[in-house]
Amino acid sequence: MSQHSGTREQWGSKIGFILAAGGSAVGLGNIWRFPYVAGKYGGASFILFYLFVVCVIGFTVMLTEMAFGKHYQLSCVSAFRQYKGGKFTFMGVIVTLIGTFILSYYMVIGGWTIKYIVSSLSGLMGEAAAGHSGDLFGAFISSPNQVLLYHVIFVLLTSLIVFGGIKGGIERVCKVMMPALFVILLVMIVRSLTLPGASKGLEFYMLPDFSKLTLEGCLAAIGQAFFSLSLGMGIMITYGSYVKKDEYLPSAVAQVCVIDTLVAVLAGFVIFPAAFAFSIEVNSGPGLTFITLPSIFAKMPGGAIWSTLFFVLFFFAAITSSISLLEVPVACLIDTMKMSRKKATVVATILVFVLGVPSALGLGSHAFDIAGKGFLDFIDFITNNIGMPVMAALTSLFVGWLIPKDILPELDSTTRVFTHKNLWLFCVRFVAPAVILVIFVTGLKW
């Protein structure tokens, strides 16, 4: 099956592969969404439930996607095409389109992180101290030239890394950025925890409150786990396709899940103690990152340094995710159109950039609104609430029911046997699709 064996690119090392997949998983969602959602639904009690979801469903589905990729050693479209004369090729195409659309707006936000690194060093703190961080953000996102400029920079950086290939580009960059991200995170935790009054924030985050863990909270945990682990959009299939045949996948997947969850939980140790120390209410999304946090940093001694460090961390989180998203269409162009990596990267980059322009410009005007939503929110809704759960469920059903005999051997390595195959298969066939269906139905609330 592996038409390209011998010539196909591969990860240089297991740790490089884990950091690249971990880099994909650790992204905006870990920093601007997880702490807020956890705080809202009972802190430690939410985290406990989230851990359960990651272990039972997140791990299962990620292992499924990676083993599928490892088996065929092909991009999503070509891998799905291998079964029954191409009847399921459409699934590969949809998965690739979902990733491509998510990337188109993800890179717009990536551009904002660069803008804020620059601003942190030039005046952001002064404005935030004067209570103007909201105005500043509003003025920035409604300035088309500024937004497009930083969008282009982020797109070019993403493209440049993917241009370098699996080992020489993606793996090399993740091996530097992921440890750096972790170190910055630890430094920021120490800063936040040593602020006077920080302990109240810690209490809020760490004392379990099971009364807040409602059904809605449980569903939020499942949705968050899927988005955070980058499932249902072809990434883990594509990354899995560069894994060497003798690699033991279950332990690698477990480590990716640990990295992702650890960074999400640790981000809360930066945000809550600092917010409580300065009595600022925590929110989520762009409001938290680009408005609330700058106003918190402005109150700290040496605020410009903390703000810069934070946005560098945020930039690393964003770009290691965006390269994984770009790799999905690039791998498809290489496999299906027989393009060279360089040509495929250029073609995919132009495509995602153009697709992203309405998201970039739609923030300052309503010209691109669809169904009453801004373009970015609309694409986000379609891809995350519909596309991602549907494709994650279909992929699980496909692997679990149609090709389990092909995939099961991929869970072993030459030296190690995965002993929980039946349990895994049960989860892939029944548990994961059922649970995903539930988040899909509840996520449909427009």
Q: Using CB under 6 A as the criterion, which residues of the chain lie in contact with ligand PHE when the complex forms?
A: 24-25, 27-30, 102, 227-228, 230, 233, 235, 321, 324-325
Give the nearest distance from C-beta 85 to ligand PHE in angstroms.
30
Rounded Cα distance between 352 and 326, Å, is: 8
Query: Which CB, 38 or 304, lies closer to ligand PHE?
Result: 38
Give the nearest distance from C-beta 384 to ligand PHE in angstroms.
8
Query: Which CB, 263 or 407, lies closer to ligand PHE?
Result: 263
Tokens of 173: 């960059």
Query: Which CB, 99 or 303, lies closer to ligand PHE?
Result: 99
Q: Kindly give the residue spans of alpha helices, DSSP state H, lying in 121-214.
A: 124-129, 133-141, 144-163, 172-193, 198-206
Give the nearest distance from C-beta 197 to ligand PHE in angstroms.
30
CB 74 within 8 A of CB 328: no
DSSP 201-258: HHHHHHS--GGG--HHHHHHHHHHHHHHTT-SSSHHHHHHTTS-TT--HHHHHHHHHH
Give the nearest distance from C-beta 26 to ligand PHE in angstroms.
6
Give the nearest distance from C-beta 325 to ligand PHE in angstroms.
5
DSSP 362-379: TTT-STT-BTTB-HHHHH
Which residue's Cβ has the minimum distance to ligand PHE? Answer: 27
Give the nearest distance from C-beta 391 to ligand PHE in angstroms.
12
CB 100 within 8 A of CB 328: yes
- Chain-centre distance for alpha carbon 116: 20
Query: Which CB, 61 or 124, lies closer to ligand PHE?
Result: 61
Please state, in angstroms and as integers, the Cα–Cα distance from residue 309 to each residue in 111, 121, 273, 313, 314, following that order: 16, 10, 17, 6, 9
Query: Which CB, 24 or 120, lies closer to ligand PHE?
Result: 24
Rounded Cα distance between 427 and 39, Å, is: 29
The dihedral region occupied by 209, where left means phi > 0, alpha psi between -120 and 50, and beta the remainder, is: beta
Query: Which CB, 289 or 324, lies closer to ligand PHE?
Result: 324
Query: Which CB, 377 or 412, lies closer to ligand PHE?
Result: 377
R_g of the chain computed on alpha carbons: 21
Number of C-beta neighbours around residue 91 at 10 A: 20
User: Which helix (DSSP H) or strand (DSSP E) does residue 87 occupy?
Assistant: none
Give the nearest distance from C-beta 389 to ligand PHE in angstroms.
12
* Residue 370 backbone phi and psi in degrees, to 5: -125, 130
Give the nearest distance from C-beta 430 to ligand PHE in angstroms.
25
Query: Which CB, 34 or 418, lies closer to ligand PHE?
Result: 34
